[in-house]
Amino acid sequence: MPDTNVTAHLANYRQGDPPLELTVQLVVKAGVLPTFANDDLPDLPPELDGWFFQTSETTWRTPGEVADRLDGSSDPTQRYWLWQLLGQACAVKCRPRDTEREDTVAARAVKSVAAEVVAEDEYTYDQVRRTMQLDLDYLSPPLPE
């Protein structure tokens, strides 16, 4: 598309060159995420912080480990944070490993991967339209030739 003033008025026009800042979005069913009075979100409980990050902020639990703990939790604060941590654990899986950061197509194409957990009844049409579907298999080794 030509670079003109018209492109500023297009609702679904995407611009940008790699490296991209990506967000993994986990869209959960309505009512799954706990809600809190006045939308006042609780702090991350210290025991979850220590459990998830294990020894440092670079050694995280896997999505499966977080999901197992989420299945066994009934506390609203823990459930809220476990959903957030599940999103982070999924985002970590999409990031290049330290040994691959400079040498792969994925490392050059992706600057960062964050996570967002949102209820389906709060996921807007605008968010759907702005979503880009990526073929993550293409970014995973072995790379296609």
Q: What is the pLDDT of residue 108?
A: 73
* pTM (2 d.p.): 0.74
Is pLDDT of 13 > 50? no
**For residue 50, is it within any domain?**
yes
- Is there a domain that residue 57 lies in? yes
Does a structural domain hold residue 12?
no
Question: What integer is the mean pLDDT of 16-35?
Answer: 86
The pLDDT of 126-139, averaged and rounded, is 66
Asked if residue 8 belongs to a domain, the reply is no
Q: Which residues fall within 8 angstroms of residue 18, CB to CB, at 6 or more apart?
A: 108, 109, 110, 111
Per the structure, the count of domains in the chain is 1
Q: What is the pLDDT of residue 1?
A: 46
Phi/psi zone of residue 61: left (φ > 0), alpha (ψ -120 to 50 degrees), beta? beta
Decide if 5 is inside a domain: no
User: Residue 98: is its pLDDT beyond 90?
Assistant: no
Q: Answer whether residue 94 is part of any domain.
A: yes
Is residue 49 in some structural domain? Answer: yes
* Residue pair 117/26 in contact by the 8 Å Cβ criterion: yes
145 vs 28, residue with greater confidence: 28
pLDDT band of 145, cuts 50, 70, 90: low
Q: Is residue 3 part of a domain?
A: no
Q: Which domain holds residue 73?
A: 18-139
